[in-house]
Copies of this chain bind each other. A is one copy, B any other.
Amino acid sequence: MSTVTILGAGAMGSALATPMLQAGHDVRLWGTFLDDHLIDSIKAGSPHPRTNVKVPDGVASFYHGELEQALAGVEVAIIAVSSVGVADIARLAAPYLQDVQGILITSKGFFPDEQGTIQLLPQTVEAQLRAGGTPFKPVVAIGGPCKANEVAYGQPTATIFGVEGGASAWASLAKTKTYRVASTSDRDGLEICAAMKNVFAIALGVADGLSEVGEQPYHNLKSAIFAQALAELRMLLSAAGTDPWTALGLPGAGDLEVTGISGRNKVYGARLGKGEKATTALAEMVALEQTVEGVDAVRLAVVFIEQRFSELLAQMPLLSAIYAVVHGGESIDRIVEAALPR
Q: Name A residues whose Cβ lies closer than 8 Å to a Cβ of B.
A: 144-147, 149-151, 153, 155-158, 160, 171, 175, 180-182, 214-224, 226-228, 230-231, 234, 245, 247-250, 252-255, 257-258, 261-262, 336, 339-342
A155 touches B222 (CB 8 A): no
Q: How far is the CA of A250 from the CA of B214 in the complex (A)?
A: 23
Q: Which of A157, A180, A181, A224 has the most CB of B within 10 A?
A: A224
Cβ contacts under 8 Å, A171 to chain B: 341
| B220 touching A158, Cβ below 8 Å | yes
Interface residue from B145, B156, B224, B234 paired with A227 (Cβ < 8 Å): B145
From A144, A155, A231, name the one whose CB has the most chain B CB atoms within 10 angstroms.
A155
Dominant SS at the A interface? helix
Say whether B257 contacts A226, CB under 8 Å.
Answer: yes
Q: Please indicate the chain B residues that have their CB under 8 angstroms from the CB of A339 in the complex.
A: 156, 158
If A158-B223, A227-B249, A248-B248 are given as contacts, then 9 extra A-B residue pairs at C-beta distance below 8 Å, sorted by A number, are A144-B227, A145-B220, A145-B223, A145-B224, A153-B216, A155-B216, A156-B221, A230-B249, A257-B257
Q: How far is the CB of A156 from chain B (nearest CB, A)?
A: 5
Q: How far is the CB of A202 from chain B (nearest CB, A)?
A: 16
Knowing A156-B224, A340-B180, A341-B158, say if A150 contacts B255 (CB, 8 Å): no
A149 and B216 in contact, given A231-B248, A249-B227 (Cβ under 8 angstroms): yes
CA distance A158 to B342 in the complex (A): 10
